[in-house]
Amino acid sequence: MLCPICGYQNQPTAKFCIVCGASLTDVKLEVLPFDTQLLGGEYIVYKVLGQGGFGITYFGNEVLLKRPIAIKEFFPAGCHRQGSTVISAGNWTVASYNQAKQRFLQEGQTLAQFNHPGIVRVFKYFEDNNTAYIVMEYLQGKNLADLLEERGEPLKEWEAVSYVEKVSKALEVIHQANFLHLDIKPDNVMVTTDRRVVLVDFGAAKEYLAGKTQLLSRTVTPGYAPLEQYAERAKQEPYMDIYALAATLYHLLTGQMPVSAVDRAVGVELPDVRQLNPKVRPFVAEAVMQGMAMEVKRRPQSVGEFLNLLHGRKSSPSNPEARMEFYKPAKDPWGAFGEPDETSTDSSEKSSNWF
């Protein structure tokens, strides 16, 4: 019996796939079958990489170019299939389903604008089967959340700062195009086997108009989202992403998820970085805490300002007297794959496949 998840040919009497463990008897299984063709045979679906509340991501192949790809399908919870066609059901009306589908396509449209090694690359986005698809580069590696879990302890300062620096470079490009990511967190930063640090999941990304009050998407991840992101309407500026970037570095340096902005607003204290990890240098810890300031005016207003603080410089790069100690990594800044005593890229080791 062919497994619809991974494509493995099991024994005819098997109830579960011996490779991936998927049920072979569940008639409600709602993923696309192995070897499904999309867009008239331009793409072929092979197996499931992951599934969330709004979609399913598959590993597949682009037939003409013969390259591996990740295919993200819009498939919100509560919907079902008739053959390959997705049918809106549950709490989804036809109108609300189509609205959400268009927002999904906007994610593809946003990503397709960028060509940067630190931003997941989109090749195409399209509608088919009464749903939508985003075709992306296939990334192999680990996200920072998985890396932290495997280590079981905070990352070394040089390694954590290096990852955040590389995310910052990608974020600068995003901000220059007048977009905000709005969901930066360890789960959304991939460290690939070919030594790239890649920002993924632009589902919450939004174009912004500097200084203008706009309706927010209300996509928040507690611990990483600033307080103003919880509001229905707020000014949208890069300092919102700066908070999340600093919170991500806080998690990497301390091994603890930050206290949510909502809890901080009612008096719950956010422990200082050095209180949890005294090995972190004072100016690095100060940069993180300033990046997570509750008042937007106290935060760095741009990625460049945040990096200046992180490197031990004052906010103004034009003032030579403001320069303090520069950050100089003592080792290979690709610690997840460059430190053989801690992590290896050997094919036998656990690896995550992301999009």
| Cα–Cα–Cα angle for 244, 315, 289, rounded to 5 degrees | 40
Helix (H, G, I), strand (E, B), or coil: what is residue 265?
Answer: helix
Phi-psi sector, 255: left (phi>0), alpha (psi -120 to 50), beta = left
Other Cβ atoms closer than 10 A to 250 = 29
The secondary element (H helix, E strand) that includes residue 245 is helix 239-254
Check whether 235 is labelled as a binding-site residue. Answer: no
Q: Is residue 46 within 8 Å of residue 4, measured between CB atoms?
A: no
The secondary element (H helix, E strand) that includes residue 214 is strand 213-215
- From residue 194, alpha-carbon distances to 60, 82, 125, 142, 159 in Å are 20, 40, 25, 11, 16
Q: Is residue 178 within 8 Å of residue 197, measured between CB atoms?
A: no
Whole-angstrom distance, CA of residue 323 vs CA of residue 329: 18
Percent helix / strand / coil, the chain, rounded to 5:
30, 25, 45
DSSP letters for 107-138? HHHHHHT---TTB--EEEEEEETTEEEEEEE-
Q: Is residue 313 exposed (0-12), middle (13-18) or buried (19+ Cβ within 10 Å)? A: buried
Q: Which one, of 308, 287, 195, 296, lies nearest residue 245 by Cα? A: 287
| Cα–Cα–Cα angle for 95, 97, 103, rounded to 5 degrees | 105
Other Cβ atoms closer than 10 A to 54 = 15
| Binding site listing | 72
| Binding site listing for ATP | 72
